[in-house]
Structure 1
C-alpha cells in the first residue's frame, strides 16, 4: 500500500512537472521571442527606430539632443540593457542628437555610421561617446548583410561618397524576417534613391519608413514603385515648422492605396511581424493632411560647402565634412534669423550657426527663405 501511494505521488509530481514545462514553453512563445517588433518611437520632428527580435536589439537613430529622457524612459520600459547594433543614419541632429546617450548608457556591439563628418557639437558628442567606449564606427558597405536573431539586415545605401547634401549619406537598411520586409531610409533624397534603383538590389518591401519625414525631396515615383509597400510610416512632429509631410508625398501614397501611419497623429507606432503577417498597434491615418509649417525643408540640411578632411580621432580614415550653415541675427531681441546679412537693412548683424539660432528658438526669415 505504501509503495502504491509512493508511485501515485511520483506520478502526480511528473504530471505537474510536465504541465509546468508546457506552460513555460507557452509563455516563451507568448512573450514575443519568435516575433520581430519594430518601434517607430515618437521623438517629434526626428527619427528613432527600435528593432527587437528575442533578446537582440537594434536602434536606428536617436532623435534630437533633448529626446534623451523620452528614449531613456521608453527603452527602460522594455527592460533593454544591450544593443547588438546602433545605427546613426547621417550627421544631422534630429537623427543622432541622443545617440551619445545611448552609447554611453548601454552595452553596444557595433556602431554603424556613414563615412561623413560634421563640425557640430552634436557630432563631437557622438565621437566622444564612441571613443570613450574604445570603439570605432563601422562604415557600411552596400550589399553587406548581418543578422538580428532570425531577421536579416541588408545595407542598400549610401552608394556614393561625394554628395553635396548630407541627407544622401543616409544609411539605408532593408530588414527581412520570413516573408515580411521593412525599408528604413533615414533622410535619403532623390539622388540616393536613383542610385539605389540603379544598384540592382531588391528594394521591394512591405513597410517603408518614408525618407526625410515625408519631404518632397524624397519618395520619388520611381522609387516608390520599386519599393511597392503596403504600409508607409512617417516620423514627423506635430505642427512642425517644415511642412512635413508634404502633400505631394501623401498624394503618392493615397494614389497607390498605401496605408499611412504617422507619429504626429498616433505617437509611437509598433509594427509586429511573425514572419508571415505584419500588424500595427495603431490605426492608419485617415486625414491625408500635410504639415502646416512654412519653413523650407532645406534648412534641416548642413551647408553645401564641403571638403575632404583627415579625422584626428582615427574613427575614420578620410571623410566628407559638412560645415554648419551660417545665419545672421539682428539684435538680442530678434525673433528671426536671416540667410543674407543685408536682408531688411539689418544694423550690426551678428553671425550664428544655424544650430545656435534654432537653439534660441528663432524662426527663419520669410524673405530669405522663400
Structure 2
C-alpha cells in the first residue's frame, strides 16, 4: 500500500438519521487478510431502513459504516490470502456481503448465505466501527477483508454503474433461474420492478424464456420502461390493469410457469402470485413484508394446484460468478438501471434519492463512488 495513505475516510452512521465522515487508521495486514479500495458501492432498500433506524433490534448497531454491496481493487493482500483468493494487488473484485463461519452445518453443506453463526456472523454494513479494524462497510475509501470472505474477480473493463448492481444481478440469477429451475420456453412473471425484480426478469430472459411479464405501479413507469428496453415482453401497470387477467390473456389461460414475488412491503402481490401461477408451477418469495401477515391468503389453492413455494434470501457463489460474467458481457445494458451516482460526501443524499424523497429523481439503482469528487 502507498505510504501516503495515513488515514481512511468513511461515512459513519452514529444514530438514526445521523451520518458523517470520519477518518480511521489504515489497518495493518497479516498473512490471511486484505484491503480493498472501493470503486463503487451500491445501495439497497436495507440501507434506507438502516439509516432510518428501522432495522430489527438485533441488527441495529452504532457507530457503523454502511454499505454491503461493494466493488473495488485489491490495495494490499497477505501472502496466504493471495494464494487462497488467487488475487494480487490491482485486481478488481466483487465482495460478497457476508463472511460466513465455514463451520456450521449450513456453511459446510453449501448454504453459507444462511450461516448459523449468530452474533459471530460478519455482515458488511452491520458491524460496529468500534470493532477493529473498523473498516467494515462499503461507504469508505478502503474496506478490510478477513479470512473467510468471498471475492470474485471481474474485468477492469466492466462498467462501474453495472457493477454497482452485482448483488442484484447475482440474486436475480439465483431467484429467477436456479431456485425454480427455470427452463427455456417457460413463462416467467416478476411481481415488482425494483433492482432485484429487473435482475430476475433479465435472468429469465437469458435462460431462454418464452415470455417474461413484469409488474409495477404507475409510479414505477421509469422502471417498467427499463424493463421493456431490456426485452421484457409485457410490462403491467397494476394501477390500471389486473395482473392475473393479463397473465391469463398472454398465456392463453395456461398461466405462468414461474412467479417471483419481488415486492417489498406490499402484500397483494403474494395473493396475485398464487392466482397467476399454473398448476404444478413454482413461486419464489423474496419480498420482505416487515413481519406483517398476508390479508386474504388462502393456502388451499396452493395445495389444489400442486404449487412449489420457495423462500429465498440471497445469492450464492455460483450466481455471483455468473453475474460477473453477465456484467462483463452486457454491462452497457445493465448500466441503465443504475440511475444515480454520488460521492462519499453525498451518502445521505444518495439514501434519500433511493428512498424516493427527492422529487423527480425516478431512481432505480443508486451507488456511491468513494473516489468521486
Same fold (TM over 0.5): no
Larger gyration radius, structure 1 or structure 2: 1
Q: TM-score, normalised by structure 2?
A: 0.29
Q: TM-score, normalised by structure 1?
A: 0.29
Q: Which has the higher contact order (CA 8 A, sep 6+)?
A: 2
